[in-house]
A and B are shown apart, each in its own frame.
Chain A
Amino acid sequence: DTGVSQDPRHKITKRGQNVTFRCDPISEHNRLYWYRQTLGQGPEFLTYFQNEAQLEKSRLLSDRFSAERPKGSFSTLEIQRTEQGDSAMYLCASTFGGGGPDTQYFGPGTRLTVL
């Protein structure tokens, strides 16, 4: 399968712990996006990369959140000192950015529960 993959699919952690999620985009896609989705809501944009460069970050991305895409392939999203409000589904999407808007292909998400 050559779709977007995310790992882990589920993560349960205690408040104050650090967690890291991984996203592997579709191989030829140069743009990678992270979104957060809470129950019953639409996804909210967090950040996006073009190749290895992080080009935009939402104000939702507090300083406890950091994302990387070191070689322009997979990406990681780390949350430090987790809070109960961080409980959500974290979605990754990728696209081949040739210029303007284009369809994004989503992964299955990582569901984070902070106790």
Chain B
Amino acid sequence: AQTVTQSQPEMSVQEAETVTLSCTYDTSESDYYLFWYKQPPSRQMILVIRQEAYKQQNATENRFSVNFQKAAKSFSLKISDSQLGDAAMYFCAYMGYGQNFVFGPGTRLSVLP
């Protein structure tokens, strides 16, 4: 069974600075997708970024980028120019061809003004 680990329960960053959230996963599959979702307090989960495992190029979405290391089974999220609105729980998720997501326990990100 696949597992996803996020070793940082809480992180904080100064507004306008850069922060990196860590995620590692375990799988025996060769083709899969990885995702970062953001869940603001009392609000619904929204997709931040996704990475297809067959793609070597790291995904980027505006201020959000990933460092995908397939051999190391590592998938970190970098948030540049952090904004107050980035404060949320961030979940790393794995999806293989088994069709359901496996989520990590989450990292709570605080953005300090």
Residues of B with C-beta under 8 A to A33? 100-101
Q: Does B103 count as interface, using CB distance less than 8 angstroms?
A: yes
Q: Which residue of A lies closest to B50 (CB)?
A: A103
Kindly state whether residue A102 has any CB partner on chain B within 8 Å: yes
Asked whether A108 lies within 8 Å of B43 as measured between CB atoms, the reply is yes
Residue among B32, B47, B50, B91 making CB contact with A42, cutoff 8 Å: B91
Bound: A100/B33 CA distance, A? 9
Query: A-facing mask of B11-53, CB < 8 A → 1, else 0?
Result: 0000000000000000000011101010000011111001000
A41 and B99 in contact, given A101-B33, A106-B46, A108-B43 (Cβ under 8 angstroms) = no
Task: Report how far A55 CA is from B98 CA in the complex, Å.
Answer: 10
Question: Per-residue CB proximity of B68-109 to A under 8 Å, as 1/0?
Answer: 000000000000000000000001010111111111111000
Find chain B residues with CB under 8 A from A105 CB. 47
> In the docked arrangement, what's the CA distance between A79 and B100, Å?
21
Note all chain B residues with C-beta closer than 8 A to A100.
31, 33, 97
Given contacts A42-B91, A43-B91, A101-B33, contact A48 B99 (CB under 8 A): yes
CA distance A93 to B45 in the complex (A): 10
Q: Is A31 an interface residue (CB 8 A)?
A: yes
Any B CB within 8 A of the CB of A113: no
Q: Max chain B CB contacts within 10 Å: which of A33, A42, A44, A108?
A: A42
- Whether the pair A42, B46 counts as a contact (CB closer than 8 A) is no
Would B43 and A101 count as touching, CB distance under 8 A? no
Known: A42-B105, A107-B44. A101 touches B91 (CB 8 A): no
Enumerate chain B interface residues (CB-CB to A < 8 A).
Answer: 4, 31-33, 35, 37, 43-47, 50, 91, 93, 95-106
Lowest 7 CB-CB distances: which A-B pairs, in order?
A42-B103, A101-B95, A101-B33, A45-B100, A106-B45, A108-B44, A42-B91
Interface residues of A (CB under 8 A from B): 31, 33, 35, 40-45, 48, 55-56, 58, 91, 93, 97, 100-109
